[in-house]
Amino acid sequence: MPVTITREAASQIVEAVKEVCSRDINYISPTGIIMASTNPARIGTWHSIAMQAAKEQRTIEIAPGEEWEGTQPGINLPLFHEGEVICVIGITGSPEEVRRYAFLASSMTKLLIREQVQGDSIRTRQERREYAVRALTGGEMGNPEYLRECLRQLQVSENCRMYAARIVLASRVSLGNVSMIDKRITDLFRSLGITLYRFRYPSEYILLFYEADGRNCRKKLREFAGECAPLLTIGCGRAQEESALRQSYREAVIASEAALGKGIAYAEYDSLDIEILLAGVDAGQRKMFRGKILKGLGEEELELLKTYFRNDCSLTGTAWETHLHKNTLQYRLNRIRDLCGYNPREFRDAAVLYLALAAKPAGEEELV
């Protein structure tokens, strides 16, 4: 059933958002009528672009000089609940200037809607779901009786082995598209019958699914990650007993960070090796290690090393992939030795260089 928003609740939402971003905010119905606005003169008027954004279920930006009837420059962000557009949030201003506020406005609106509009039964179910996931993956089972009651109400089978997975939105995602990605993710959970999931501000989804459904769910998650790359990364832990789901979540974190470090969209803990070892090393220490080993190497040398290791240290394979003559390749590898002091053509030095490349903390710039 679609959520109905009162004008009073809509007014509270736009005022709360404006306090944070200091921009004019419009709360617009899916039919294009501005229900609430920080500019009183616009209340009750028609917003053609907002109606189009709701109909097409996508964010629409209007640059200065592109205004249509009833619109001003800005971003128009549709907000979803249970797969339906319930409103469009309009932020007035140059898209380049206000784009960074879109995700904030969306998140605040969702929280305020949940608090002010959703019925007790909907709110209770969501709170139980979030509590259950937090308790199971965080290892904080301070109230086992309440956890059992939450799982019973959510119709989650007891004492079943489950997988934990983690979806992380990329930092380069356009803030105006976060709402659309959120809809795709929740639609995916619904299609897979996943009951236990939660969103952790600002960019993490945690989900749990039964071991019996593991093969299908992992396949669908892998496909979904490929479809959405590079907007998100997914990591999956191993199936664990209920009491050990904290460990599965930790494995999912390691897998997602390893995937990000490798530049791939999906990874499973069971597929990792060196990354498991590196996960126990502080990010600061990894950065220090990389700086020490790779000091003096530029982007060209780093890319050559990656290609060299990808070809199992084969001069023939590396020369073929880089289109370099073997003598030129040997010269460049010797130059790497001279620059950093480690010879990629000697086993021990090559191992050190390989670990230094693999030790890049997730999200860190490539050059040292």
The CATH number of the domain where 327 resides is what? 1.10.10.2840
Residue 39 zone, left/alpha/beta (φ > 0; ψ -120 to 50; rest): beta
Is residue 364 included in any domain, yes or no?
A: no
Is residue 70 included in any domain, yes or no?
A: yes
Given 64, 97, 118, the domain boundary residue is: 118
Paired tokens of 110 = 């969702």
Q: Domain holding 93: CATH number? A: 3.30.450.40
Residues 212 and 135 in one domain: yes
Given 229, 249, 278, the domain boundary residue is: 278
Is residue 363 included in any domain, yes or no?
A: no
Q: Measured between alpha carbons, how far is 285 from 323 in angstroms, rounded to an integer?
A: 36
Residues 157 and 272 in one domain: yes
Given 83, 99, 118, the domain boundary residue is: 118
Helix axes 299-310, 315-322, angle to 10 degrees: 130
Is residue 1 included in any domain, yes or no?
A: no
Residues 303 and 251 in one domain: no
- Kindly give, in sequence order, each residue whose CB lies less than 8 Å from that of residue 289, ignoring residues fewer than 6 positions away: 281, 355, 356, 359
SS3 state of residue 260: helix
> What is the model's pTM?
0.63
Q: Give me the domain span that covers residue 42.
A: 7-118
Q: Measured between alpha carbons, how far is 48 from 68 in angstroms, rounded to an integer?
A: 8
**Total domain count, the chain:** 3
Q: E strands within 131-265? A: 162-169, 196-200, 204-210, 232-236
Residues 62 and 114 in one domain: yes
Is residue 2 included in any domain, yes or no?
A: no
Q: Would you call the peptide bond into 30 cis, given omega within 30 degrees of 0 as the criterion?
A: no
* pLDDT per residue of the chain (368 residues) written in tens, 0 to 9: 455 667 777 887 788 778 777 788 999 999 999 999 988 888 999 888 999 999 999 999 988 877 666 678 889 999 887 778 888 999 988 888 888 777 777 777 777 666 655 554 555 788 889 889 999 998 665 678 888 888 998 999 888 999 999 999 987 666 556 777 888 999 999 999 999 999 987 789 999 999 999 999 999 999 999 999 888 999 999 999 998 999 999 999 999 988 987 788 999 999 998 888 888 788 788 889 999 999 989 999 999 999 999 899 999 999 999 999 999 999 999 999 999 999 999 999 999 999 999 887 655 544 33
Residues 274 and 235 in one domain: yes
Paired tokens of 220 = 């669908």
Neighbours of 267 (CB within 10 A): 25
Residues 171 and 113 in one domain: no
Q: Which helix (H) or strand (E) holds 37?
A: strand 34-37
Residues 45 and 129 in one domain: no
- Kindly give, in sequence order, each residue whose CB lies less than 8 Å from that of residue 170, ignoring residues fewer than 6 positions away: 230, 231, 232, 233
